[in-house]
Amino acid sequence: MSADIAETPDSDRDGNAGDPNFMTSLARGLSVIRAFTERSPNLTIADIAKITGLPRAAARRCLLTLMQLGYVGTDGRTFFLKPKILALGYSFLSSAPLATILDPLIEQVSGTLQESSSAAVLDEDEVVYIARAATKRIMSVGLNVGSRLPAYCTSMGRVLLAHLPETELDAYFARVELKAFTERTITNPDVLRREFERVRERGFALVDQELELGLRSVAVPVRTASGSVVAAINASTQAARVTCPEMEARFLPPLHRAAEEARVLLVRTPVA
């Protein structure tokens, strides 16, 4: 293991140089996998190197290793993920009680509202979807389990950020670039902090066309018995069909019911 770390002088970029328990080659392989997205499903070695910051030779070795294991394929010029990669995500979903609990609940929300509903957790600076029930595609980019979005301009992200300890929130603002996705996107840290206060006071977050024009979403926290926020669930719709006041009046009751049912179930199945 120590030899693997010594193999690459650029391991400093991971912030773990000198840690005898850190396997650089594994970290590199995971960064290569994460480089593939819906918008970039086919990538060259040069693309991978640019996205990950790895040397071309290291990117090539990672890709060839993933090919031999059946996780990556190639057309001779570009590389792409193969279906076997889904087994990695399934391992999480099949072993995570939170995802198992929330999946049927958001199906109920979606069925009641006839709108898309999702559940997400905070992972570093983004929300990652752990359950989703979609009735129709309402965004230009399709969302599925495993999809990631910026936390500050999404309803579930705001719910989760609003309940972070103050020191963690300060660190978040210190490192995150607040990019405007639409003319409605809030990018002022002070204004966002006031939004988070409103979220805590009201018990929900409503985001109106800040991530994408035409998209409205409302989210509520999922709490454990002790009151800790471990996830968020939402319902989203097209702005042309449903007003913000209507979302509060019609969407919040089933979301709150689902969140309360999740809290009861989490008492029986504690989440680490």
Instruction: Provide the whole-model pTM.
Output: 0.68
pLDDT at 5 exceeding the cut of 80: no
The string of pLDDT tens digits covering residues 91-144 is 655 555 788 889 999 999 999 999 999 999 998 899 999 999 987 655 555 678
pLDDT of residue 94: 54
- In terms of C-beta density within 10 A (0-12 exposed, 13-18 middle, 19 or more buried), how is residue 262 classed? buried
Judged against a pLDDT cut of 60, whether residue 4 lies above it is answered with no
Residue range 9-45, pLDDT digits in tens: 333 444 565 677 788 888 999 999 989 887 888 999 9
Q: Tell me, rounded to whole angstroms, the distance of Cα 213 from its chain centroid.
A: 20
Q: Write down all domains in the chain, each with its CATH number in brackets.
A: 2-84 (1.10.10.10), 96-268 (3.30.450.40)
Distance of CA 3 to the CA centre of its chain: 34
Nearest-5° Cα angle at 114, 110 to 119: 25
